Amino acid sequence: MERLYGVRADRVASIAPQNWTPPHPHAVRDFLLAYYSERECRAHGFEHYPHAPIAAIRPMQRPSQALPRASSVPPTDVRMPSLSVELLSLYTSALRHASLWDGETYRLLAFDAELPRGSFAIDSFLRFRLTNGLMREEMYHAVATGSDALPLRCQIAPDAAALLDFPSHNVCGGVHTLCAFARPAPHNDFIVPLQRRSPRVGVAGGSYGVIPMAFHQPTVSGPLDPREPATTALREIFEELFGGHESFEEAKFLDHPAIAWLLSHPDRMHFETTGFFVSLLGGNYDFSLLLAVTDTGFWQRFGHTLKTGWESGEYFLLSTLDGDGFHRILHQPDWEAQALACCLEGLRRLRSIDHKRMLSEPYDLTTS
């Protein structure tokens, strides 16, 4: 805070937090969809996500199903926003019980949907979370109190043109992956792990989502390119689905038997892109991937070893033939927007991969 805003953190923490009730997620969504109009987003090559009314946009040109590639580019200068100590205290009060630490993360500077390819520079997670990331808390407060004052958003992303001008601000983000594991008879389905995030998570705590959901960060990845979103997905599958311990010094995730199996059996799974999304709430990007293992032997060998990490407050293993279960989870209001899009797009793609393991009707009525 002192580097970014010239304000000591203890000065911010000394201000008593205001009491206000968080707004309903649908109220925030509706505000954002009006704030960044469909017409304005389309003028810059993006559209409101059409299959569910969520506050995220995607390129009008669909990314291919190939896994997204990556390249490095020199970072550009970003003008830091200014906030008073009172507003810093107001916006950061919700973070006082979160588990936050700094680390390198990939900042997006360009995205080409046709390839698909992202261009990244390395930046700081806390620099993102205390600038662009605070637009979340600012928006929650504004909607909850009926205020039209959005000083942080007005400096960073006052309109769709600024929101989508990636080099001009701290556009950090991550990789969301819908995992689906085929089970043999008598089930003849896919098992899909979903979660409600722990409130201690630094971004989107308490929200529903897929597993894994992770920031795209450079770490030691052995022969894999750490810039590739698929590398982050595999590392986080190891950590968030198989209970692996995070390590920045060595590529331990490559030695886990389940990850080693996935890397050595590409013909028995579909590992592909289902979307690219920009959040209207926080301005962050997310790659949406699907990992569908069609070999039932994987589940028989590794299904009993699933163990979620601390990021999951609770998790659910849903059968793709459980219509009631999906209806209940998908209609929860507090989904992270891009995670819901990842889930819906993954389910749509799963039907084309093996429709016999899927329901005949839509999983969520908003996709019909």
Domain boundary among 141, 168, 195: 168
Please give the share of the chain, as a percent, with pLDDT higher than 70.
98
157 and 178 share one domain: no
203 and 344 share one domain: yes
- For the cut 50, the answer to whether the pLDDT of residue 368 exceeds it is no
Question: Which pLDDT belongs to residue 324?
Answer: 95
Question: Which pLDDT belongs to residue 112?
Answer: 96
Give 99-115 pLDDT, tens digit per residue.
888 999 999 999 999 99
pTM: 0.95
Residue 310's pLDDT band (boundaries 50, 70, 90)? confident
Question: Which pLDDT belongs to residue 365?
Answer: 61
349 and 257 share one domain: yes
199 and 346 share one domain: yes
46 and 6 share one domain: yes
CB atoms within 10 A of CB 56: 27
Question: Which pLDDT belongs to residue 104?
Answer: 94
Q: What are the φ/ψ torsions at residue 170 (nearest 5 degrees)?
A: -80, 80
- For the cut 90, the answer to whether the pLDDT of residue 343 exceeds it is yes
183 and 215 share one domain: yes
Chain center to CA of 255: 26
The token pair that represents 161 in the structure block:
């043109």
Question: Which pLDDT belongs to residue 114?
Answer: 92
Q: How many helices (H) and strands (E) does the chain have?
A: 14, 12
Question: Which pLDDT belongs to residue 246?
Answer: 76
Distance CA 290, CA 177 (A): 5
Residue 367's pLDDT band (boundaries 50, 70, 90)? low
- For the cut 80, the answer to whether the pLDDT of residue 341 exceeds it is yes
CATH number at residue 193: 3.90.79.10
More confident residue, 20 or 216: 216
Closest by CA position to 78, among listed 2, 4, 153: 4
The number of distinct structural domains making up the chain is: 2
Give 123-180 pLDDT, tens digit per residue.
999 999 999 999 999 999 999 999 989 999 999 999 999 999 999 999 999 999 999 9
DSSP 207: -
Q: Average of pLDDT values for 314-322?
A: 96
- For the cut 70, the answer to whether the pLDDT of residue 317 exceeds it is yes
Domain boundaries, position 21: 2-168
274 and 339 share one domain: yes
Domain boundary among 168, 191, 213: 168
221 and 329 share one domain: yes
Give 240-298 pLDDT, tens digit per residue.
999 998 766 678 899 999 999 999 999 999 999 999 999 999 999 999 999 999 999 99
127 and 18 share one domain: yes
- For the cut 70, the answer to whether the pLDDT of residue 366 exceeds it is no
Question: Which pLDDT belongs to residue 362?
Answer: 87
Distance CA 165, CA 239 (A): 33
148 and 192 share one domain: no
Distance CA 116, CA 69 (A): 6
Q: Average of pLDDT values for 228-240?
A: 96
Closest by CA position to 58, among listed 354, 298, 347, 345: 345
Give 25-82 pLDDT, tens digit per residue.
999 999 999 999 999 999 999 999 998 889 999 999 999 999 999 999 998 889 899 9
346 and 197 share one domain: yes
Reduced to 3 states (helix: H, G, I; strand: E, B; else coil), residue 3 is helix
β-bridge pairing 69-72 and 117-124: parallel
198 and 343 share one domain: yes
